Amino acid sequence: MVKKYLYAVGLLVAGLFLPEFKLCAQEKTNLPDTVAQKDVNDLFREVFKKNKKPDTTKKKNGSVVILPSFNYTVSNGFAFGADFSVSKYLGDPKKTTLSLFDLFAEKATKTLALVQLRHNIYTSGDKWILQGNWELGKTEVVDHGIGTGRDDPGEFPIKYTYIKFSEKVSKKVVDHFFAGAGLAYNYYTNIDDERLNGEHSRTFNHFYSLKNGYPAYGYLAGGLLFDLQYNTKDHPFRPYKGLFVNVTFRLNQTWLGSEKDATQIKTELRKYWSLSHKNPEHVLAFWLWGSYLLKGSVPYLELPATGSDPEQRMGRGYTISRFKGPSYFYNELEYRFPITRNKLISGVAFFNMQTANNQRTTKLFQYWEPGGGGGLRILFDKHTRTNLCLDYGFGNYGSNGISVGINETF
């Protein structure tokens, strides 16, 4: 059955991929913007530096930003922290993608506390890509079990501490196409899987771990990564046009310290259509994300789920880890549009659907869980297209919530 699903996904990818070959010979230039933009920096200059002229430069080679962070999600509550971000072109901006180094720390009103270091570095001419994610945190999720298509009345809060590490190196094979390899380790410990209303009643994590031979209090998943990537996005943070396709094979191996051997294939597709030459910020964006277990098993907290992307933005309208399974599929369509003429304020409207299987009767693609909503965007830096995102999402079973973050969801 998995082969059939992957074949269907492959056809969809091919249909969106073929038109992009016409763009391979083009340089990494942006669509023209004929309407003057104004960002938060311009407002600051107007209010506090009245004698200074507005910033009329067309492009910067990069930026260094240190900002306090404020965030809210239905999963973690209010969160406060700091973000140190460096973006820079390491080569000719017409032929090189903007590189990013980001150090982030956050503490939430619930149990969440984390320190995250991420980098996405493109060498001159995009000859090499170095991508990494290091994360240390303590958190709590409200668990609803495995699979989609049911509203289980049982809610199991799980508290745990985790360390996540991944590093990947990719080399350009031809224009826009990269092949690479790397390592990934995810360690979970201090897992509190006691249900609050019963001394002998345990969570889904307990029963899943018992069935699959994992210790319920902690485990390690580590393995090799083999990666293929195709990328014609005109910008890494807020694309107006282009296509991104990523296929990753992950091989968890006991000789690398993993609890069990496992083979997974993870697929991601992001497609962007700019709907206006005069105002390229009118964008239709599509996101497809899937993870499929081909062999073996993975620990419970490693199961792909709502919010499994590095920024935990997948599945707006639902809590983190609301739906999960050994195999999981997600897709989202979003329309982005400017509201004010100077592009300071923009808006989005989105719709998403997700599905997951379980280890018993529920099959992948059998039941879908929809979500939708809208949001506002405030332009922080027009040169790097950095913006503040405020979204409201809703879904099945009375699920809804507000999320705040930096840069577009995808």
**Mean pLDDT value of segment 166-176:** 94
Residue 304 falls inside a structural domain: yes
Q: Is the pLDDT of residue 5 over 50?
A: no
More confident residue, 336 or 56: 336
Q: Is the pLDDT of residue 346 over 90?
A: yes
Q: Is the pLDDT of residue 262 over 50?
A: yes
**Phi, psi of 38, deg, nearest 5:** -135, 130
Structural domain for 165, as ranges: 2-25+35-406
Residue 296 falls inside a structural domain: yes
At 16, is the secondary structure helix, strand, or coil? helix
Closest to 322 measured CA to CA, from 300, 309, 307 = 307
Residue 163 falls inside a structural domain: yes
Closest to 285 measured CA to CA, from 407, 170, 123, 143 = 407
More confident residue, 21 or 323: 323
Give the model's confidence band at 357: pLDDT under 50 very low, under 70 low, under 90 confident, else very high.
very high
Q: Is the pLDDT of residue 26 over 70?
A: no
Q: Is 101 exposed, middle or buried, given 0-12, 13-18 or 19+ CB atoms closer than 10 A?
A: middle
**Helix (H), strand (E) at residue 121:** strand 113-122
User: Which of 37-51, 76-90, 266-280 reaches the highest mean pLDDT?
Assistant: 266-280
Query: What distances in angstroms separate CA 399 from CA 23, 322, 323, 375, one per listed residue?
Result: 41, 10, 12, 17
Rounded Cα–Cα distance for residues 410 and 407 (Å): 8
Query: What distances in angstroms separate CA 298 from CA 49, 135, 138, 143, 188, one per listed residue?
Result: 56, 20, 20, 17, 12
Residue 30 falls inside a structural domain: no
Q: Look at residue 13 in the predicted model and tell me its pLDDT.
A: 39
Q: Is 92 exposed, middle or buried, given 0-12, 13-18 or 19+ CB atoms closer than 10 A?
A: exposed
Q: Look at residue 106 in the predicted model and tell me its pLDDT.
A: 84
Express each pLDDT in 93-138 by its tens digit: 888 888 888 888 888 776 678 888 999 999 998 999 999 999 999 9
At 41, is the secondary structure helix, strand, or coil? helix
Q: Look at residue 8 in the predicted model and tell me its pLDDT.
A: 42
Number of domains in the chain: 1
Burial 242-278 (b: 16+ CB within 10 A, else e): bbbbbbbbbbbeeebebbbebebbbbbbbbbebeeee
**Residue 296, both tokens:** 């073996």
Mean pLDDT lowest for which of 191-205, 210-224, 279-293?
A: 191-205
Q: Is the pLDDT of residue 52 over 50?
A: yes
Q: Look at residue 152 in the predicted model and tell me its pLDDT.
A: 60
CB 101 within 8 A of CB 85: yes
Closest to 310 measured CA to CA, from 409, 177, 178 = 409
The alpha-carbon radius of gyration of the chain (Å, integer) is: 22
Rounded Cα–Cα distance for residues 209 and 294 (Å): 19
Query: What distances in angstroms separate CA 230 from CA 167, 172, 269, one per listed residue?
Result: 18, 10, 9
**Helix (H), strand (E) at residue 17:** helix 2-17
Report the percentage of the chain scoring pLDDT > 70.
81
Give the model's confidence band at 384: pLDDT under 50 very low, under 70 low, under 90 confident, else very high.
confident
Rounded Cα–Cα distance for residues 136 and 186 (Å): 10
Rounded Cα–Cα distance for residues 307 and 309 (Å): 5
CATH of the domain at 106: 2.40.160.50
Mean pLDDT taken over the chain: 83
Ranges assigned E (strand) in 279-363? 283-296, 328-338, 345-356
Closest to 234 measured CA to CA, from 59, 77, 11 = 59
Say which amino acid occupies 73: T
More confident residue, 22 or 382: 382
Q: Look at residue 66 in the predicted model and tell me its pLDDT.
A: 74
Rounded Cα–Cα distance for residues 214 and 265 (Å): 22
Q: Is the pLDDT of residue 326 over 90?
A: yes
Rounded to 5°, angle at Cα 121 from 117 and 125 = 175
- Sign of torsion, CA 74 80 84 89? positive
Q: Is 54 exposed, middle or buried, given 0-12, 13-18 or 19+ CB atoms closer than 10 A?
A: exposed
